[in-house]
């Protein structure tokens, strides 16, 4: 199998060069910790996420393989990748080689850790590629051409802007502030303004519904802050937009600074072509407009904001010139 893997803070996507998306689920697994300290994976992805809200978690532990886009623990990542591969390739038993996306802001040590975990999980050979490059390829851009491209990825744990051309990264900015912080902002807003406690899953669902709902009212269920009883509240989409606004403004401010590093001709290229934007949180209401204003450049939203990195990584696997230029081993 020739796989492109986007191991994100929030979601893991695995794309096969020929078959397309094989796995697209939350980046979480539930493990049982036994006496010997060897962990056993009980559920991965959506199954694990579903368990979290239901099962008593005393004997189990929910484990996220990444924090803010980087590997925190080699053994955990190896276990996780193995479980994901098992799910992705249930019917096919063939050798696996892959390209894995890494954030531009990750250190050589961090991406070495990821490559090592992947090799130990049975993926050989494995190459790391900047997620921005992979996403660009997934959206049909050619990172080897002489023209400068600027892409922005707003994911769960991190937001990045990366400019590149002709096989090299020109500049990048990273901020560890993205969709997950927006969820927390919604959760806090409901507590303060509506005296309602909700879980992170409900807050995230509300955030996503508001993003696609324009300005209408939405109903959310939670617990009353005073009585602890379950109750419903009506929230306007505009309120949710207002709650996440400070976060998207901060993201835009940080990412826009990358323009300072670019020569005028590079900016002219991006002006002509537009800034490519992807990542789940790029869909938040108002973010594209804020970006357009902050950068002073036209913005183009990717058609597949959540899967273009994995798709592009799978395609990059067969593009030797591209991997020679941008790949990190």
Ligand X SMILES: Nc1ncnc2c1ncn2[C@@H]1O[C@H](COP(=O)(O)OP(=O)(O)OP(=O)(O)O)[C@@H](O)[C@H]1O
In the complex, the smallest distance separating the C-beta of residue 263 from ligand X, rounded to whole angstroms, is 28
Residue 313 token pair: 């990584």
In the window 21-40, what residues touch ligand X (CB under 6 A)? 27
Q: How far is CA 57 from CA 45, 49, 51, 217, in A?
A: 16, 12, 9, 35
CB of 12 to ligand X, least distance (A): 7
One of 3, 9, 78, 240 touching ligand X (CB under 6 A): 9
Min CB(300)–Mg ion separation in Å: 18
295 binds ligand X (CB under 6 A): no
Tell me: does residue 311 bind ligand X (CB under 6 A): no
Binding positions for ligand X, 50-69, rule CB under 6 A:
69
Under rule CB under 5 A, residue 105 binds Mg ion: no
Q: Is 237 in the site for ligand X (CB under 6 A)?
A: no
Q: Contact between 132 and ligand X (CB under 6 A)?
A: no
Say if CB 166 and CB 20 are below 8 A apart. Answer: no
Which residues ranging from 129 to 188 are in contact with Mg ion (CB under 5 A)?
155
Nearer to ligand X, 67 or 75 (CB): 67
Verify binding: residue 290, ligand X, rule CB under 6 A.
Answer: no
Answer for the pair 126, 100: CB distance below 8 angstroms, yes or no. Answer: yes
Which member of 11, 106, 174, 248 binds ligand X (CB under 6 A)? 11
What stretches of the chain show up as alpha helix (H) in DSSP? Answer: 46-52, 74-88, 108-120, 131-138, 179-194, 200-211, 237-256, 264-273, 287-295, 308-316, 320-326
Please give, one letter per residue, the 3-state secondary structure of 58-77.
CCEEEECCEECCEECCHHHH
Long-range CB contacts (within 8 A, 24+) of 42-50? 44/80, 44/83, 44/84, 44/87, 45/12, 45/84, 45/87, 49/25, 49/201
Per CB under 6 A, the list member of 102, 115, 208, 259 interacting with ligand X is: 208
Footprint of Mg ion (CB under 5 A): 8, 155
Footprint of ligand X (CB under 6 A): 8-11, 27, 69, 155-158, 178-180, 183, 204, 207-208, 211-212, 279-281, 283-284, 306
């Amino acid at each position: 199998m020739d796989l492109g893997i986007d191991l994100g803070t929030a979601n893991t996507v695995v794309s096969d060069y020929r078959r397309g998306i094989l796995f697209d689920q939350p980046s979480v697994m539930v493990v049982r910790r036994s006496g010997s300290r060897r962990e056993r994976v009980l559920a991965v992805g959506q199954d694990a996420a579903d368990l979290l809200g239901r099962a008593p978690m005393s004997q189990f532990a929910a484990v996220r393989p990444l924090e803010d886009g980087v590997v925190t623990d080699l053994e955990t990542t190896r276990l996780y990748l193995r479980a994901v591969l098992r799910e992705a390739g249930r019917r096919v038993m063939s050798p696996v080689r892959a390209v894995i996306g890494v954030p531009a802001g990750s250190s050589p040590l961090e991406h070495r850790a990821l490559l090592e975990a992947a090799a130990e999980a049975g993926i050989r050979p494995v190459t790391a590629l900047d997620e921005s490059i992979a996403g660009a390829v997934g959206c049909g851009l050619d990172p080897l051409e002489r023209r400068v491209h600027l892409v922005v990825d707003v994911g769960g744990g991190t937001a990045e802007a990366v400019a590149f051309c002709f096989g090299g990264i020109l500049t990048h900015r990273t901020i560890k502030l993205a969709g997950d912080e927006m969820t927390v902002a919604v959760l806090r807003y409901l507590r303060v303004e509506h005296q309602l406690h909700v879980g992170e899953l409900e807050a995230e669902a509300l955030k996503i519904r508001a993003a696609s709902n324009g300005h209408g009212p939405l109903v959310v269920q939670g617990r009353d802050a005073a009585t602890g009883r379950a109750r419903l509240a009506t929230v306007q989409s505009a309120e949710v937009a207002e709650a996440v606004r400070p976060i998207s403004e901060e993201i835009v401010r940080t990412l826009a600074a990358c323009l300072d590093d670019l020569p005028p001709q590079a900016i002219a290229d991006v002006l002509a072509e537009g800034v490519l934007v992807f990542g789940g949180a790029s869909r938040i209401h108002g973010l594209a407009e804020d970006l357009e204003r902050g950068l002073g450049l036209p913005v183009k939203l990717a058609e597949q904001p959540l899967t273009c990195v994995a798709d592009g990584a799978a395609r990059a696997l067969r593009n030797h010139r591209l991997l020679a230029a941008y790949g990190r081993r």
